[in-house]
Amino acid sequence: MAQTPEEDSPKRGFLLQIAKYSQLAFVLPAATAIGWLVGAGLDRWLHTTWLYLVGLILGIVAGFVDLIRTVMADSK
């Protein structure tokens, strides 16, 4: 599929990069919040008091993995 000259413009490429990196502003906090919520739900279900920390850490790790994947994809 051939690209039109509009799609090859430097301005469009710059805007696509801005959009790609601005998604990280939503992905990192969302992954953290979801991990915390899952951990808190497991704490209530299993009657524990520490699983929310595990969920929080896993959410943070998941957010950073997405960050690293995004950066590595652009460095190629």
Residue 71 binned pLDDT confidence (cut-offs 50, 70, 90): confident
In a domain, 42, yes or no: yes
pLDDT, residue 17, reads 82
CB 12 within 8 A of CB 69: no
Each residue's pLDDT tens digit, 11-59: 778 888 888 888 888 999 999 999 999 999 999 999 999 999 999 999 9
In a domain, 7, yes or no: no
Structural domain count of the chain: 1
In a domain, 6, yes or no: no
In a domain, 58, yes or no: yes
In a domain, 45, yes or no: yes
Question: Which domain range does residue 25 map to?
Answer: 21-75
In a domain, 28, yes or no: yes
Element counts in the chain: helices (H) and strands (E): 3, 0
In a domain, 1, yes or no: no
In a domain, 13, yes or no: no
